[in-house]
């Protein structure tokens, strides 16, 4: 396994114990987290990886970010997968974002992600089935420009096969699609007019799931998907401020 470069996040010096089985001390934890990156190692943009990144910060877990590219299948074969996120925690080698979230919440229960709350699953499916399809058809040509040079041919070939047409054709007519996309956010918009976060006064998994989708677009496309007067925009600003501005510090392509 070839690990070229790694960034370490700041470990929060907090020791938490679970009543039944003690959580490991933070200083003893060394989580390796493979996430999809652009040419710039720091420009991580996969919405599925963002879920994990935010969950790790939510729990204050130190981790080593390992930038990965789409064509490096061999580097994650050890986890029996071809896709990131991949998380390695000691003997544990995990793929699939939802399974990783469940693992983290079981292994490091405090503070909780409340993975046992069934209604939070709805936000997973809403983002995957409503938000992502609404976004990809506006941003896929720009994602192609964002991915690492060595991933570009692979990205174009696989996506054009899926969509059955050139990326540029699939991503045409962005303005009309933007209107439809913004309309699809209406339930989110109405909710965020009344509360600071989907989690109330603090963000919870629902916030992380939806925000991860927006980070995908922010990091890959110059097109602003949200109007500044939108309650979703104001909420995204609050999310960008979390964890000492962690998400805001990630290189983005959105033009504001």
Residues in contact with its own copies by the rule CB under 8 A: 116-123, 125-126, 129-130, 186-188, 190-191, 194-195, 197-200, 204, 206
Closer to its own copies by Cβ: residue 32 or 196: 196
For residue 7, what is the DSSP state? Answer: E
Closest residue by Cα to residue 115 from 179, 52, 161:
52
Least separation in angstroms between CB 193 and its own copies: 9
244, with CB counted inside 10 A (0-12, 13-18, 19+), is exposed
Q: Are 7 and 14 in contact (CB under 8 A)?
A: no
Rg, C-alpha atoms of the chain:
18
For residue 245, is the peptide bond before it cis, meaning its omega torsion is within 30 degrees of 0? no
Least separation in angstroms between CB 78 and its own copies: 28
Quote the CA–CA distance of 50 and 208 in Å, as a whole number. Answer: 8
- Collapsed DSSP state (helix, strand, coil) of residue 95: strand
Least separation in angstroms between CB 204 and its own copies: 7
Closer to its own copies by Cβ: residue 39 or 184: 184
Least separation in angstroms between CB 198 and its own copies: 4
Closer to its own copies by Cβ: residue 23 or 184: 184
Closer to its own copies by Cβ: residue 3 or 195: 195
Closer to its own copies by Cβ: residue 92 or 202: 202
Task: Quickly tell me which residue has 């061999």 as its tokens.
Answer: 74
Q: Are 107 and 73 in contact (CB under 8 A)?
A: no
Least separation in angstroms between CB 194 and its own copies: 6
């Amino acid at each position: 396994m070839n690990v070229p470069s790694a960034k370490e996040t700041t470990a929060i010096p907090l020791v938490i114990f679970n009543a039944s089985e003690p959580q490991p001390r933070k200083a003893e934890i060394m989580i390796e987290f493979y996430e999809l990156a652009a040419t710039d190692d720091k420009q991580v943009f996969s919405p599925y990886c963002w879920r994990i990144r935010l969950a790790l910060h939510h729990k204050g877990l130190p981790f080593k970010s390992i930038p990965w590219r789409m064509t490096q299948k061999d580097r994650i074969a050890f986890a029996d997968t071809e896709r990131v996120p991949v998380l390695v925690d000691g003997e544990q080698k995990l793929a699939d974002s939802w399974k990783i979230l469940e693992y983290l919440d079981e292994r490091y229960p405090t503070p909780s992600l409340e993975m046992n709350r069934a209604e939070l699953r709805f936000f997973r499916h809403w983002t995957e089935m409503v938000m992502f399809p609404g976004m990809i058809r506006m941003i896929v040509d720009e994602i192609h420009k964002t991915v690492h040079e060595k991933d570009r041919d692979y990205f174009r070939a696989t996506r054009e096969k899926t969509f059955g047409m050139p990326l540029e054709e699939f991503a045409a007519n962005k303005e009309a699609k933007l209107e439809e996309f913004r309309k699809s956010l209406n339930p989110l918009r109405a909710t965020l007019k009344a509360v600071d976060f989907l989690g109330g006064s603090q963000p919870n998994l629902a916030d992380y799931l939806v925000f991860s989708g927006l980070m995908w677009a922010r990091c890959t496309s110059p097109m602003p998907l949200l109007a500044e007067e939108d309650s979703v925009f104001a909420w995204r600003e609050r999310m960008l401020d979390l964890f000492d501005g962690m998400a805001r510090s990630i290189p983005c392509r959105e033009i504001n």
